[in-house]
Amino acid sequence: MSELTLPPVAKSFFMFCKKCNADRFHMVLAHTSPTAAKTECEICKSKKTYSLPKAGAPKKTGSAAAKNSTKTTRAKSHTGEYENRIQNQQSKEAIPYSIKTLFLEKQKIQHPKFGLGFVQKAAIDRIDVIFADEVKVLIHNKN
Protein backbone atom coordinates (compact mmCIF):
# COMPACT_ATOMS: atom_id res chain seq x y z
CA MET A 1 0.00 0.00 0.00
CA SER A 2 1.42 3.32 -1.06
CA GLU A 3 1.35 6.17 1.44
CA LEU A 4 -0.25 8.41 -1.24
CA THR A 5 -3.34 6.29 -1.97
CA LEU A 6 -5.97 4.70 0.22
CA PRO A 7 -6.24 0.92 0.25
CA PRO A 8 -9.21 -0.42 -1.74
CA VAL A 9 -12.54 -1.08 -0.03
CA ALA A 10 -12.90 -4.64 1.38
CA LYS A 11 -9.12 -5.11 1.56
CA SER A 12 -7.14 -5.58 4.75
CA PHE A 13 -4.03 -3.69 5.74
CA PHE A 14 -1.79 -3.58 8.79
CA MET A 15 -2.00 -0.66 11.26
CA PHE A 16 -1.97 0.04 14.99
CA CYS A 17 -5.23 -0.65 16.90
CA LYS A 18 -5.62 1.53 20.01
CA LYS A 19 -8.20 -0.79 21.59
CA CYS A 20 -6.05 -3.93 21.16
CA ASN A 21 -2.89 -1.89 21.84
CA ALA A 22 -1.13 -3.83 19.07
CA ASP A 23 -0.56 -3.86 15.31
CA ARG A 24 -3.50 -5.63 13.67
CA PHE A 25 -5.07 -6.13 10.26
CA HIS A 26 -7.93 -3.71 9.56
CA MET A 27 -10.61 -4.11 6.89
CA VAL A 28 -11.44 -1.02 4.82
CA LEU A 29 -15.22 -0.49 5.09
CA ALA A 30 -15.63 2.70 3.05
CA HIS A 31 -13.77 5.71 1.71
CA THR A 32 -15.12 8.76 3.51
CA SER A 33 -12.98 11.31 1.61
CA PRO A 34 -10.09 11.24 -0.89
CA THR A 35 -7.65 11.00 2.04
CA ALA A 36 -9.62 9.07 4.69
CA ALA A 37 -11.26 5.67 5.05
CA LYS A 38 -13.45 3.98 7.67
CA THR A 39 -11.75 0.78 8.95
CA GLU A 40 -12.56 -2.07 11.32
CA CYS A 41 -10.10 -4.12 13.38
CA GLU A 42 -10.35 -7.78 12.43
CA ILE A 43 -9.75 -8.86 16.05
CA CYS A 44 -11.72 -6.54 18.34
CA LYS A 45 -14.13 -5.18 15.65
CA SER A 46 -13.55 -1.56 16.74
CA LYS A 47 -14.14 0.99 14.01
CA LYS A 48 -11.80 3.90 13.36
CA THR A 49 -10.93 6.37 10.63
CA TYR A 50 -7.64 5.98 8.77
CA SER A 51 -6.18 9.12 7.20
CA LEU A 52 -3.32 9.32 4.76
CA PRO A 53 -0.21 10.91 6.24
CA LYS A 54 0.31 14.50 5.15
CA ALA A 55 3.09 15.06 2.61
CA GLY A 56 6.31 16.09 4.34
CA ALA A 57 4.87 15.57 7.83
CA PRO A 58 7.10 13.61 10.19
CA LYS A 59 5.84 10.26 11.40
CA LYS A 60 4.55 10.06 14.97
CA THR A 61 7.16 7.55 16.04
CA GLY A 62 8.61 9.80 18.76
CA SER A 63 5.48 10.12 20.88
CA ALA A 64 4.41 6.53 20.22
CA ALA A 65 7.88 5.30 21.12
CA ALA A 66 7.84 7.37 24.31
CA LYS A 67 4.46 5.92 25.31
CA ASN A 68 5.63 2.37 24.63
CA SER A 69 8.84 2.86 26.61
CA THR A 70 6.79 4.23 29.53
CA LYS A 71 4.55 1.16 29.45
CA THR A 72 7.60 -1.11 29.30
CA THR A 73 9.13 0.69 32.28
CA ARG A 74 5.87 0.37 34.23
CA ALA A 75 5.65 -3.32 33.36
CA LYS A 76 9.23 -3.93 34.49
CA SER A 77 8.73 -2.08 37.79
CA HIS A 78 5.42 -3.87 38.34
CA THR A 79 7.05 -7.26 37.73
CA GLY A 80 9.86 -6.42 40.16
CA GLU A 81 7.37 -5.34 42.82
CA TYR A 82 5.40 -8.56 42.33
CA GLU A 83 8.56 -10.68 42.66
CA ASN A 84 9.61 -8.82 45.83
CA ARG A 85 6.23 -9.40 47.43
CA ILE A 86 6.34 -13.11 46.61
CA GLN A 87 9.71 -13.43 48.33
CA ASN A 88 8.62 -11.40 51.37
CA GLN A 89 5.29 -13.18 51.92
CA GLN A 90 6.06 -16.82 51.10
CA SER A 91 5.14 -18.00 54.58
CA LYS A 92 1.75 -16.26 54.61
CA GLU A 93 -1.30 -18.16 53.35
CA ALA A 94 -3.19 -16.61 50.42
CA ILE A 95 -6.83 -15.66 51.08
CA PRO A 96 -9.23 -16.95 48.39
CA TYR A 97 -10.79 -14.03 46.50
CA SER A 98 -14.50 -13.40 47.00
CA ILE A 99 -16.45 -10.27 46.17
CA LYS A 100 -17.94 -10.44 49.69
CA THR A 101 -14.60 -10.58 51.55
CA LEU A 102 -13.03 -7.43 52.98
CA PHE A 103 -9.37 -7.14 51.97
CA LEU A 104 -6.67 -4.90 53.43
CA GLU A 105 -3.50 -3.50 51.91
CA LYS A 106 -0.54 -5.89 51.56
CA GLN A 107 -2.70 -9.02 51.86
CA LYS A 108 -1.93 -12.01 49.70
CA ILE A 109 -4.94 -13.26 47.69
CA GLN A 110 -5.64 -16.18 45.38
CA HIS A 111 -7.95 -15.28 42.46
CA PRO A 112 -9.58 -18.14 40.51
CA LYS A 113 -8.79 -16.57 37.11
CA PHE A 114 -5.76 -14.29 37.64
CA GLY A 115 -3.87 -16.42 40.17
CA LEU A 116 -1.74 -15.19 43.07
CA GLY A 117 -1.91 -11.46 43.80
CA PHE A 118 -1.14 -8.83 46.40
CA VAL A 119 -3.42 -5.98 47.46
CA GLN A 120 -1.59 -2.79 46.61
CA LYS A 121 -4.31 -0.27 47.50
CA ALA A 122 -7.62 -0.77 49.32
CA ALA A 123 -10.67 1.51 49.23
CA ILE A 124 -14.13 0.91 50.72
CA ASP A 125 -15.40 -1.13 47.76
CA ARG A 126 -12.41 -1.54 45.40
CA ILE A 127 -8.90 -2.93 45.63
CA ASP A 128 -5.90 -2.63 43.31
CA VAL A 129 -4.27 -6.06 43.12
CA ILE A 130 -0.83 -6.79 41.66
CA PHE A 131 -0.86 -10.04 39.67
CA ALA A 132 2.07 -11.57 37.78
CA ASP A 133 1.18 -9.90 34.48
CA GLU A 134 -0.68 -6.70 35.46
CA VAL A 135 -2.49 -4.68 38.11
CA LYS A 136 -6.26 -5.27 38.28
CA VAL A 137 -9.00 -3.32 40.04
CA LEU A 138 -11.37 -5.70 41.83
CA ILE A 139 -14.56 -5.23 43.82
CA HIS A 140 -14.60 -6.36 47.47
CA ASN A 141 -16.59 -5.94 50.69
CA LYS A 142 -19.89 -6.34 48.79
CA ASN A 143 -22.71 -7.61 51.01
Write out pLDDT tens, residues 88-140.
666 578 899 999 999 999 899 999 998 888 898 999 999 999 888 888 999 99
How far apart (Å, rounded) are the C-alpha atoms in residues 101 and 111?
12
The whole-model pTM stands at: 0.43
Q: Is the pLDDT of residue 78 over 90?
A: no
The amino acid sitting at 7 is P
Residue 10 CB coordination number (10 Å): 9
116 Cβ neighbours under 8 A, 6+ residues apart:
86, 94, 108, 109, 110, 131, 132
Q: How far apart are the first and last CA of the chain?
A: 56
In the chain the domains, ranked by start, together with CATH numbers, are 12-53 (2.20.25), 79-139 (no CATH)
Q: Which residues pair with 50 in a beta bridge?
A: 37
Q: What is the pLDDT of residues 17-73, one digit of tens each?
A: 888 888 888 899 999 998 899 999 988 999 999 888 876 655 554 444 444 444 444
